[in-house]
Amino acid sequence: MAADRRDVRPEFHPQGFAPVSPQRRGLLRAGLGLGAGSALLAGRGLRAEEVASPPAEAPYSLSLGPGVVDRVYGQPSRFEAGVIRRNVPWLTASPETSISFTPLQHQQGIITPSGVFFERYHAGRPTVDPSEHRLMIHGLVDRPLLLTMEDLRRFPSVSRIHFIECPANGGMEWRGAQLNSLQFTHGMIGCAEWTGVKLSTLLEETGLTRGAKWVLAEGADGAHMNRSIPLEKCLDDCLVVYGQNGEALRPEQGYPVRLLIPGWQGNVNVKWLRRLEIGNQPWFTREETSKYTELMPDGRARGFTWPLYAKSVITFPCPEMPAKGPGIYEIRGFAWSGLGKVAQVDVSLDGGVNWQRARLQEPVLPKALTRFTLEWRWDGRPALLQSRAVDETGFVQPTLAALRRVRGTNPIYNKNAIQTWQVKADGTVFNVQLA
């Protein structure tokens, strides 16, 4: 098997990296057989008598429909009522310190609709009045600042598309598969267009004094969620955002203002942001010492592990979205990396023995969800589907076995391993782990 070894980080050397040969891809395309008389991709052919007459009219085609949707916020079709966030009640102690998951199996395109963007609270969701809210910036600065929301909106603004992923995404499964679901194994992620002010713009306004190296961000919720962020990252691409997908942030996402730290673990993206303190060393808060770190096999903590490394998952088929009999399908999924753009996604139909290059769907943006697809001619035999992302830095998404060799099975966080979906002969799909 040819090895297309990339410049992987020493921690991860997945075995058997074999890109698909052009001949093999050609065969698959030929298999689509779009010539005359061949099988249709989907749907049923029309009978001769049907070709001659238009489809029967439904009652709504013969009457007036309701008028404009005026003075209320628009809602999805009632036939989409199943497209909702869901929670795993046994996972956390109470709904106020809980998490609800994005229904990734239904997501079309790279933007997560605001109404289904996963939510994570440590002390419930505060109701913050934007006219009362203030953001304080102080510490090692020349000019400490107190900003109203109106003040914030006066600064030059930018819009960026980025994902937010909780590093606990999939963290229940370090020791074994237990949730037969895409939503529950991968749904602690969402991707949105965020609008706000670059943090560097605000820090230019306050100025920085000697020794400024770290920023403490603090939320206005009862948890006072606080995290230390290196100044270098703050000046690079961090945003203080008030907009989400073309409207104000949702209360679930930190209305009226949150910190956005592109590509870094969800926890540092402090919601209901009320305070930024500039200091010369990290604060070592609870959330960065007791939580959001990993217990290594030798019993020591892994320390700050901010970026989320390359990861991907197949969203069709998946446990919630089975295959319906043999035929031609499009395997679909998402890939992402906290280090930059996704460069390549490979898909395996046989549990990681052979790999084929998937197509990346535009736009491919840094630190954003990226769509991949691959034609799949399913013969109805059991299959083991996997996807593997490679990002522009050359980081290769590791197998679960490789990840466990390095991290053991103690951690909750940063499980970016390759996911395996077992497709059974009847088309049903199961979450499995390969040894």
Residues making contact with Mo ion (CB under 5 A): 120, 166, 266-267
Q: Residue 113 in contact with residue 84, Cβ under 8 Å?
A: no
Q: How many residues bind ligand MTE (CB under 6 A)?
A: 21
Report the residue number, 213 or 224, with the smaller CB distance to Mo ion. Answer: 224
Min CB(190)–Mo ion separation in Å = 12
Among 103, 105, 120, 293, interactor with ligand MTE by CB under 6 A: 120
Min CB(188)–Mo ion separation in Å = 7
Interacting residues of 331 by C-beta distance below 8 A, sequence separation 6+: 314, 316, 317, 347, 358, 373, 374, 375, 376, 385
Min CB(123)–ligand MTE separation in Å = 6
Report the residue number, 166 or 402, with the smaller CB distance to ligand MTE. Answer: 166
Report the residue number, 251 or 322, with the smaller CB distance to ligand MTE. Answer: 251
Among 85, 198, 271, 371, interactor with ligand MTE by CB under 6 A: 271
Min CB(321)–ligand MTE separation in Å = 23
Q: Within the chain, what is the greatest distance between any pair of CA atoms?
A: 83
C-alpha span between 312 and 299 (Å, rounded): 29
Interaction between residue 215 and ligand MTE (CB under 6 A)? no
Return the number of other C-beta atoms located less than 10 Å from residue 2's C-beta: 9
Residues 147-186 that bind ligand MTE (CB under 6 A): 164, 166
Interaction between residue 288 and ligand MTE (CB under 6 A)? no
Return the number of other C-beta atoms located less than 10 Å from residue 422's C-beta: 18
Min CB(113)–Mo ion separation in Å = 20
Interaction between residue 101 and ligand MTE (CB under 6 A)? no
Min CB(266)–ligand MTE separation in Å = 3
C-alpha span between 139 and 116 (Å, rounded): 37
C-alpha span between 7 and 395 (Å, rounded): 7
Phi-psi region of 299 (alpha: psi -120 to 50; beta: other; left: phi over 0): left
Interaction between residue 266 and ligand MTE (CB under 6 A)? yes
Report the residue number, 122 or 233, with the smaller CB distance to ligand MTE. Answer: 122
Report the residue number, 267 or 416, with the smaller CB distance to Mo ion. Answer: 267
Interaction between residue 223 and ligand MTE (CB under 6 A)? yes
φ/ψ of 22, rounded to 5, equals -60, -35
Among 14, 181, 212, 221, interactor with ligand MTE by CB under 6 A: 221
Min CB(100)–Mo ion separation in Å = 12
Show the tokens assigned to 39.
């099988």
Chain centroid, CA 83 distance in Å = 17
Interaction between residue 119 and ligand MTE (CB under 6 A)? yes
Report the residue number, 199 or 270, with the smaller CB distance to ligand MTE. Answer: 270
Q: Is 364 helix (H, G, I), strand (E, B) or coil?
A: coil
Report the residue number, 266 or 398, with the smaller CB distance to ligand MTE. Answer: 266
C-alpha span between 106 and 183 (Å, rounded): 9
Residues 183-202 that bind ligand MTE (CB under 6 A): 190
C-alpha span between 172 and 275 (Å, rounded): 32
Residues in the chain: 435
C-alpha span between 98 and 27 (Å, rounded): 48
C-alpha span between 116 and 100 (Å, rounded): 9
164 interface partner picked from ligand MTE, Mo ion, none, CB below 5 to 8 A per type: ligand MTE
Show the tokens assigned to 268.
């540092």
Among 270, 369, 389, 390, interactor with ligand MTE by CB under 6 A: 270
Indicate the burial class of 123 (C-beta count within 10 angstroms; 0-12, 13-18, 19 or more). middle
Residue ranges in contact with ligand MTE by CB under 6 A: 117-122, 164, 166, 190, 219, 221, 223, 225, 252-253, 266-267, 269-272
